[in-house]
Structure 1
Amino acid sequence: MLLSGALLAGCGADGASDNSTSSGADKAAAPAVGGAADQGEAQAGATTEGKDTPAGAPDLSVDQRSIIYTGSITIQVKDVNAAAAQATGIAAGTGGFIGGDDRQSGGDGTDTATLKLRIPAAKFSSALEQIAKLGSEKNRAINTEDVTEQVVDLDARIAVQQARVDSGRKLLGQAKSLNDLVMLEKEVATRESDLASLQAKKRRLADLTALSTVTVVLLGPDAPTPVDNNDPPGFLGGLSNGWHALVDSLAILLTVLGALLPWILALGLPTWAVLHLRRRYLRTRPELPPAQTPTTP
């Protein structure tokens, strides 16, 4: 009996230890499974959130912007015609062309020429440096204008207007009466005209951004150099402009007085002499007694 009780007690202890081991393993496995599920849900949520988040406006870099380059340069050369031919060749070598040619022959080394060159924007700086080496550079000016916002706005407006034209044409094909047909034709014509105007503006901007404009002024060896009259900004600029305006006004006033002075001497002196003599005569003339009125009886 004692031996049987000891055997039963040992079996019970083994069963309890097995149960405790199994429950511990189950508890350890449960968090692992839950953690994996939570990680998968987190990844799925992150993927879904990434898909649903709207993309922001693209940040345009410098090379993607639409910029209009314009420049002017004045050069004093030995031979104006030869320098003009070289400047035209430089423009043609960059893939551009000449947009205007105005030459004036003054003789004795005072010839001048004004060339308007259209040069691709990518080669604007290099072409300007080549032109500057044709002679002695006197002045240079470069201006830039960023029209990226205008281009983006025109693209959006053109897309909207194209959609309006397409819808109008679709309705025009479905017209069932003459009045509807006439009305729709007029509306479609108006929309097409607006679309053509927007497209013309887009082509104009594309031309200005693709081809830069360079104004080249060539001066002969004895031609006078143009003076730069750029006034300083702010108070000094206003003071300078006011002084120049005062000097110009005084010059005009003196010119008018110089033109009127002969007339004043020719007409004013005789008139003054006549008035002076008359006043003197009136002072020296004896005064007449006052007339007496007859008395009635």
Structure 2
Amino acid sequence: MLTRAEHVRADPVPHARRRSAVLALVAMILALLLGACSAADQASSAGGGSDGAGSEDEAALAEAADGEAGAVGAPGADVLRAQADAAPGRMIARDASVRLVVDDVTQAAGQVRAAAAAADGYVVSEEVTPGDADADGERDDGGYAMFVLSVPSASLDQAVDRVGDLGTVVSSDMTSKDVTEQYVDTTARIETLQASVDRVRALLGEAGTVKDIVALERELSDREAELDALRAVQQSLEADVSRSSLTVELHTDEAAVVAAAEDPSGFVAGLQRGWSAFGAATATVLTGLGAVLPFAIALAVLLLPVLWWQRRRATHAGAARPGPDSTAGHEADQLRA
């Protein structure tokens, strides 16, 4: 029997073949590694180019974003004006509000009325509270006025500019609402319902029995009522689009108008309001107790002597009344006698 060394010496060919196979496998692995490295180099070079292009694209996008941000950061009135100008054929309902600080509320109020008239508008409501005059006859802080103006939508921008020239503008807001779809839907429903009303009227003219006439008249009345309601909605939308509401607030105290412009919200604001309400409720309860306490003391002073006298009288009456044991003893003595 041959040993392992003798077997190897006796059969050298298979060993050479195994060595060749191992060398070939190593060569293939090296070739794969070299290919992977070259591919990685190409990918990195391509990635560098794409990174450059990507940086350029990002810069362009950043510039565009900055442009959009600048447009958003612009005054809201200018943005809404541009939107209104860029939407021909659309039905846009616009409203605006302006808060101002003025020297004299009464004089500024007259100028607001003149601005409404110049814009072919009118004053819907007004509230004017002039400030108190000091010793020199000048108005001190505390004056306030609020106007609600109705002006044509085409003259809204002119009215806002004219009112803004009356004092220092603290805040200016403008809202825009597209009611085109609602108006188109309402108009289509009106046309459909009008055709239905016409058919019912035609059937009413051909009705031959009282029962049919009564039923058709009831149906006609319901449809005409619905038609009138839709027409009212249509007219309201047309009015909202054709005319705009402009709210003007005038103050002589800048701190007051700043406080009026701020509208706190959120958890902290809710907590503050809740605490204020709790304090107000506690103050109300304590005020009520303070109002009732004098009457309670006076009533106690009057009732305590009466209660004491009644209790003392009841005690003496109980002591004078004979008990059942003494009565029975007295009867026994009589029987023994």
- TM class by shorter-chain length? 0.5 to 0.7
Counterparts of residues 134-149 of structure 1 (less than 5 Å): 134-149=166-181
| 1:114 alignment partner, SS class | strand
Assess, with a 3 A threshold, how the Cα gap between structure 1 residues 180 and 274 changes in structure 2: closer, same or farther: closer
- 8 Å Cα contact 1:112/1:223 also seen in 2: no
Q: 2:105 aligns with which of 74, 77, 80?
A: 80
Shift of 1:258: 1.7
More helix by share: 2
Unaligned 5+ residue runs, structure 1?
Answer: 1-60
User: Residue type matched to 1:200 in 2?
Assistant: A
User: Residue type matched to 1:91 in 2?
Assistant: A
Whether 1:207 and 2:239 are equivalent positions in the alignment is yes
- 8 Å Cα contact 2:119/2:158 also seen in 1: no
User: Residue type matched to 1:132 in 2?
Assistant: G
Q: Write the deviation string for residues 204-237 of structure 1: whole angstroms up to 9, x where unpaired.
A: 1211122111122334x4799364373322x223
Whole-angstrom CA distance in 2 between matches of 1:181 and 1:270? 81
User: Residue type matched to 1:292 in 2?
Assistant: S
Q: Matched residues, percent identical?
A: 33
User: Residue type matched to 1:79 in 2?
Assistant: D
Whether 1:294 and 2:325 are equivalent positions in the alignment is no
Match for residue 297 of structure 2?
Answer: 265
Shift of 1:260: 1.1
Assess, with a 3 A threshold, how the Cα gap between structure 1 residues 276 and 175 changes in structure 2: closer, same or farther: closer
Whole-angstrom CA distance in 2 between matches of 1:280 and 1:143? 82
Whole-angstrom CA distance in 2 between matches of 1:242 and 1:82? 40
Match for residue 282 of structure 2?
Answer: 250
Shift of 1:262: 1.5
Shift of 1:166: 2.0
Q: Write the deviation string for residues 7-35 of structure 1: whole angstroms up to 9, x where unpaired.
A: xxxxxxxxxxxxxxxxxxxxxxxxxxxxx
Assess, with a 3 A threshold, how the Cα gap between structure 1 residues 274 and 146 changes in structure 2: closer, same or farther: farther
| 1:163 alignment partner, SS class | helix
| 2:148 alignment partner, SS class | strand
Normalised by the length of structure 2, the TM-score is: 0.56
Match for residue 184 of structure 1?
Answer: 216
Match for residue 57 of structure 2?
Answer: none
Q: Which structure 1 residue ranges, 4+ long, deviate > 6 Å from structure 2?
A: 276-284, 286-289
Shift of 1:256: 0.4
- 8 Å Cα contact 2:99/2:172 also seen in 1: yes
Whether 1:231 and 2:264 are equivalent positions in the alignment is yes
Match for residue 127 of structure 1?
Answer: 159
User: Residue type matched to 1:72 in 2?
Assistant: S
Whole-angstrom CA distance in 1 between matches of 2:217 and 2:302? 82
Whole-angstrom CA distance in 2 between matches of 1:139 and 1:77? 13
Shift of 1:162: 1.2
Shift of 1:287: 6.8
More relative contact order, 1 or 2 (CA 8 Å, 6+ apart): 1
Unaligned 5+ residue runs, structure 2?
Answer: 1-85, 134-138
Whole-angstrom CA distance in 1 between matches of 2:314 and 2:210? 98
Shift of 1:141: 4.8
Whole-angstrom CA distance in 2 between matches of 1:161 and 1:260? 66
- Report how many residues are paired: 235
Q: Write the deviation string for residues 108-139 of structure 1: whole angstroms up to 9, x where unpaired.
A: 23654432211233443453243122113345
Normalised by the length of structure 1, the TM-score is: 0.62
Assess, with a 3 A threshold, how the Cα gap between structure 1 residues 241 and 103 changes in structure 2: closer, same or farther: closer
